[in-house]
Amino acid sequence: MMVDQQTILNVSLDRATLEKMPVHEYVDVYTP
């Protein structure tokens, strides 16, 4: 999953999004 740097920063700062995001999606975002 290719995600641009700004999207990663936005998601990392959005706690509500992190809490709602399934674990597998979180891993996809942060795993190269």
* pLDDT at residue 4, as a whole number: 78
Q: Give per-residue pLDDT as tens, 10-28.
A: 766 676 676 776 666 666 6
* pLDDT at residue 20, as a whole number: 72
Mean pLDDT over 2-11 rounds to: 73
pTM more than 0.75: no
* pLDDT at residue 6, as a whole number: 78
Domain coordinates of the chain in residue numbers? Answer: 1-32
* pLDDT at residue 31, as a whole number: 67
* pLDDT at residue 7, as a whole number: 76
Angle at 19 between CA 9 and CA 13, to 5 degrees: 20
Task: Return the sign of the alpha-carbon dihedral for residues 7, 20, 24, 12.
Answer: positive
